[in-house]
Amino acid sequence: MAKPIVLQLGDDIKWNHDLYKEFTSKFDIRRSYSMPRAEFIQALKDKRFGDFFAIYRPFWNTGGEMGNWDKELISLLPSSCKVYASAGAGFDWVDTETLASRGIIYCNAAAACTESVADGAIWLILSTFRLFSWSSAAARSGDPDQFVDANKNLGAVSRNPNGFSLGIIGFGKIGRRIAEKAHKSFDMKILYNDVVRMPADLEKSSNATYIKDMNELLATADCVLTATPFAGKTLLDAAAIAKMKKGAKLINIARGKLIEEEPLVAALKSGHLSAVGLDVHYNEPHVNKELIKMRNVEVLSHNAGASLDAHMGFERLGMENILSFASTGKAVTPVNAHLINKSPSATSSTVAALLKGCAFIISRIPAPLDPSISAASILVSVIPGATRFTRTPLPAYASDAAAA
């Protein structure tokens, strides 16, 4: 029996050779290496990689030469493709909704870089409170006058973070780990805002207090930190920044486009904000020229999650996701699983399976399907006299459970 095909993007495996040996024993690995977009599209059209079951991208720095995974690319994937496991935490470069509409699970690797990102966040917290960016720039300038200036004057305006409040926007695994480290290291008071409140045990282990209204968190926290995915909309614009507590600090370790930088510059110049720490930038790889001139601004090159430990974890977690999905039908770190059961194709597949062999009935199913309508409801609408069965609860199917 032929092994399922996995399309591996980018470089060779570098660390987890034992797991890769198991991986290659179960899958037929096809490679795209570093194809530019036009060549990759043609390869998909020509079915050069065959009818692959999964896509595996073990590294963040390679395997993305084809550009964003949008509808154009996703439409060319074979119907056999069921899972895409990639390095990295963010997924604003891949259209997870379109993948879901094709019944494809997308798995990120945030769990593999949680410690690295949290450590980077702790550095930015410490640097913004203590203004180490000023001290570092003065020392690196080689100018004795700048050195003396920082040496004499920085201590009059820098603060220890101990006891101040940290407001975290986005309280997933990374946000919670930042909270734990900030509380244990600096005894900071942890506030958080998220669309979903965490269970009581997670709040307790993170020493965190839920703030339902983000504006309340902005007005309350001494330091605001964004740790939420970018969903296509700026989170902190001029109006939101104006609501922040006077003299507060702002840190972004998530995605650059979450924060508008022009009002950020204005808030720093006016003194409304006292310091800013950015691992990510609105126009990456370009960094705002006004911000880099300010000694109360710490800037990094999107490196918070970049460590050898994280890369080793990316490599392993991607394989674990594909192996798990192949053996159990469930991935380890799915991002869009909740969307797949609501997609038209998923509902259509459920209905077709239930009516297998009933060509006349299948021909009456409307297309395209509304994903908000359950498979059970569609059956009632297309089977003659089926309404008489509605007095008895119809069996629950997996695709209906999420749509309910």
- Residues with a catalytic annotation lie at 255, 284, 302
Which residues, in sequence order, are CB contacts of 328 under 8 Å at separation 6+? none
Contact indicator for 8, 31 with CB cutoff of 8 Å:
yes
* Residue 164 identity: F
Q: How far apart, in Å, are the Cα atoms of 123 and each of 162, 289, 339?
A: 14, 22, 36
For 180-212, give one letter per residue: b (16+ CB within 10 A) or e. Answer: bbbbeebebbbbbbbeeebeeeebeebebeebe
Helical pair 110-130 and 132-141, crossing angle rounded to 10 deg: 80
Alpha carbon 124 to chain centroid, angstroms: 20
CB-count exposure of residue 393 (10 Å: 0-12, 13-18, 19+)? exposed
Helix/strand/coil for 69:
strand
Q: Which two structure tokens, joined as six digits, stand for 250?
A: 């702002």
Query: For 207, left (φ over 0), alpha (ψ -120 to 50), or beta?
Result: left
